[in-house]
């Protein structure tokens, strides 16, 4: 059995935690392999059974792309600030790995997105667990993005950008742009404008089978990024179609792990007990 590790190389604690887990794996005749930080557009076939992320939520997003390309689950080892995606502290990772190998850990499916460009000069679909954003390139300008849901024109956003997020990504950039928090158990897309220069600036929650199309208009090009990875330019007149990915992401969870709502309470320092 082979474990593929994606490690936050700039964080000493993450490197040390990964080294301990790699030693643990070798002692049990497992085959650890450190994967490149940036997954290729097309991963070459390789025998990996589980991707292990060691770092924070950003590291897990990079690991999730590997998991998507290799069609295997991802386990997130938490090193750093409290986030919503990583599952276990380094000290608890061996026990969760053993539970996964014994078939006793939960594997939770999370909806993902794929963005497909038209007329952009590049054609590689972009996959995302959290969000796809089309934003402006120039600091002191806005981008105008005509938005459709399916065949229905909705509006043209004049904004710093527009986010299409999954429920998993609703607590990330979309939340910072005043989007709603959505339970990860719900299947939906969240369309959220960023700093809209117009009266209408609210997020729209869409059904999972609905598709969003964004077309760059006027004279300011856009820039597309998926899960914060280096992005691609969208010239004026180009369009991107964003829809639910054909396969969900799969995250390894402990059966005794903390719930989403407990994490929400801790992350935002909400009262620990009912008041009154």
- The residues carrying an active-site annotation are 57
Do the Cβ atoms of 242 and 115 come closer than 8 Å?
yes
Do the Cβ atoms of 250 and 109 come closer than 8 Å?
yes
Per-residue tokens: 164:
């299409």
Give the integer Cα–Cα distance in Å for 182 and 188.
9
Give the integer Cα–Cα distance in Å for 138 and 219.
12
Q: Which 3 state secondary structure label does DSSP give 267?
A: helix
Give the integer Cα–Cα distance in Å for 225 and 240.
11
Residue 270 phi/psi, 5° resolution?
Answer: -80, 160
Give the integer Cα–Cα distance in Å for 54 and 262.
22
Do the Cβ atoms of 108 and 250 come closer than 8 Å?
yes
Do the Cβ atoms of 153 and 84 come closer than 8 Å?
no
Give the integer Cα–Cα distance in Å for 273 and 186.
26
């Amino acid at each position: 059995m082979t474990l593929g590790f994606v490690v936050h190389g700039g964080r000493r604690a993450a490197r040390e935690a990964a080294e301990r887990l790699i030693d643990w794996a070798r002692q049990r005749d497992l085959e650890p392999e450190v994967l490149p930080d940036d997954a290729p557009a097309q991963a070459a076939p390789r025998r990996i059974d589980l991707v292990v992320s060691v770092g924070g939520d950003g590291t897990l997003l990079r690991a999730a792309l590997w998991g998507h390309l290799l069609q295997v689950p991802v386990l997130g080892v938490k090193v750093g600030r409290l986030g919503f995606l990583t599952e276990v502290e380094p000290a608890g990772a061996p026990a969760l790995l053993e539970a996964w190998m014994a078939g006793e850990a939960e594997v939770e499916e999370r909806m993902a997105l794929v963005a497909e460009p038209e007329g952009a000069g590049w054609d590689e679909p972009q996959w995302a667990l959290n969000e796809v954003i089309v934003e402006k390139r120039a600091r002191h300008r806005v981008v105008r993005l005509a938005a459709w849901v399916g065949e229905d024109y909705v509006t043209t956003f004049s904004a710093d950008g527009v986010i299409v997020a999954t429920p998993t990504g609703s607590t990330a950039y979309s939340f910072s742009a005043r989007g709603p928090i959505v339970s990860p158990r719900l299947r939906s897309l969240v369309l959220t404008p960023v700093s809209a220069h117009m009266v209408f600036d609210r997020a729209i929650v869409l059904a999972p089978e609905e598709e969003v199309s964004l077309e760059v208009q006027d004279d300011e090009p856009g820039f597309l990024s998926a899960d914060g990875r280096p992005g691609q330019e969208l010239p004026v007149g180009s369009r991107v179609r964003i829809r639910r990915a054909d396969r969900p992401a799969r995250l390894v969870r402990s059966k005794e792990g903390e719930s989403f709502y407990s994490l929400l309470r801790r992350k935002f320092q909400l009262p620990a007990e009912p008041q009154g």
